[in-house]
Amino acid sequence: MNWTASDIPPQEGRRAVITGANSGIGFHAALELARHGAEIVLPARSEAKAEDAIRRIRAEVPQAKLTPALLDLSSRRSVRRFVETIDDRFPGGSIDVLINNAGVMALPRRELTEDGFERQFATNFLGPFALTALLFPRLKPASGTRIVTLASLIVHQGRIDFDNLQSERKYVSLYGAYAQSKLADLIFALELQRRLSRAGSPIASLAAHPGIAVTNLMAHFTGLYKLLGRFLTPVIAQSAERGALPGLFAATAPEAAAGGYYGPNGAGERKGFPAPARLPAAAADEALASRLWDTAERLTKTRFDVVG
Ligand SMILES: NC(=O)c1ccc[n+]([C@@H]2O[C@H](COP(=O)([O-])OP(=O)(O)OC[C@H]3O[C@@H](n4cnc5c(N)ncnc54)[C@H](OP(=O)(O)O)[C@@H]3O)[C@@H](O)[C@H]2O)c1
């Protein structure tokens, strides 16, 4: 049977933090979780973007419990400030779901963040790693608590190149820097589950990818990619609403397994309903995962000890 948003179990009493919820897949994830009763924390890069998303969700779910916040994942300082906001707003901490959804793709030129990192690697991987590490003590240590990280079909083209992690030797925007950052997300999500299991934690880490979905993600495409995107997207892609389903499945479905990876069930995993997704070989490389974890801790200056 095809799993849809109407299969989301009741979410009353649950609190979810969803990054990038002002646009695309994250917005639809927030809307559906709110529709099912969850309280949503929506961090965005500006107050106006967070408030606009809240307005659009309230138009469909007037009773939704929504908290705006500020977060720029490319900035170590901003990630820490966001976690302070969470502590101020929700003392004691009690987060049931964290969806690491925000991302940026295909920047035409190599850009550095204020911390000196390549922007796609910083936004898509280092920021979510630090955010997850800092929020971890604020997650409910209970079965049902889930951390979901968004990967991508492009993980199959990705390679973690420790000699070119910041694209300092060579910058290839889509199949280089972006693919590496999304593969890092997947490796992180699976390694996190290994560490949670070893620590005996009831919290689960899962990964998901949306297939190809019509969102703002392709806004940075130029030249041939832009042209191809314009003509091919309507044929090969699905709606953002549908693209949100694998992440929602990972975040809520009782049948989603800890350490699972979910994507659409159609041809090439481009469209369809949530189902187990194909993993690249690198996802099983535990030595690579450990090295990436240590590297992320060092670069973000954030220690991430997974405790039970
Ligand atoms: N769409 C697809 O076909 C596809 C395929 C594979 C994977 N994905 C993944 O799905 C996730 C969601 O993407 P989407 O397709 O929904 O794209 P989107 O519509 O462009 O949404 C991306 C979200 O990430 C936010 N974001 C970007 N940079 C940020 C930063 N520095 N700090 C905080 N938030 C930031 C954006 O905020 P602003 O509005 O401020 O830019 C936006 O809310 C991403 O992880 C992406 O890699 C998408």
Q: Which of 175, 178, 225, 261 is catalytic?
A: 178
Cα 44 from Cα 217, distance rounded (Å): 15
CB proximity list for 26: less than 8 A, separation 6 or greater: 18, 19, 20, 99, 101, 102, 244
Choose which residue among 215, 220, 232, 242 to substitute to test ligand 1 binding: the one with the highest number of ligand atoms within 8 A of its C-beta. 215
| Res 1: pLDDT | 85
Cα 33 from Cα 190, distance rounded (Å): 24
| Res 228: pLDDT | 79
Burial of 77 (0-12, 13-18, 19+ CB in 10 A): exposed
Q: Do 18 and 30 meet the contact criterion of CB atoms below 8 Å apart? A: yes
What ranges make up the beta strands (E) of 190-244? 204-208
CB proximity list for 86: less than 8 A, separation 6 or greater: 17, 41, 69, 93, 95, 135, 138
Within 10 Å of residue 163's Cβ, how many Cβ atoms?
7
| Ligand 1 centroid distance, CA of 31 (Å) | 16
| Res 34: pLDDT | 98
CATH: 3.30.420.40, 4.10.490.10, 3.40.50.720, 3.40.50.300. Which one for 11-300? 3.40.50.720
| Ligand 1 centroid distance, CA of 20 (Å) | 6
Cα 31 from Cα 42, distance rounded (Å): 11
| Ligand 1 centroid distance, CA of 43 (Å) | 12
C-alpha torsion sign, points 136, 78, 292, 26: positive
Closest atom of ligand 1 to 102 CA is 24
- The answer to whether 178 is a known catalytic residue is yes
Q: Do 267 and 160 meet the contact criterion of CB atoms below 8 Å apart? A: no
Q: What is the pLDDT along the chain (308 residues), one digit of tens a residue?
A: 899 999 999 999 999 999 999 999 999 999 999 999 999 999 999 999 999 999 999 999 999 999 999 999 999 999 999 999 999 999 876 999 999 999 999 899 999 999 999 999 999 999 999 999 999 999 999 999 999 999 999 999 999 999 999 999 999 989 999 999 999 999 999 999 999 999 999 999 999 999 999 998 887 778 877 877 777 787 889 999 999 999 999 999 999 999 999 999 999 999 999 999 999 999 999 999 999 999 999 999 999 999 98
The token duo for 29 is 């994830």
Q: Do 176 and 200 meet the contact criterion of CB atoms below 8 Å apart? A: no
Domain map of the chain by residue range? 11-300
- Backbone φ and ψ of 146, nearest 5°: -135, 145
| Res 93: pLDDT | 67
Closest atom of ligand 1 to 212 CA is 3
Pairing relation of β-strands 97-100 and 65-70?
A: unpaired
| Res 224: pLDDT | 78
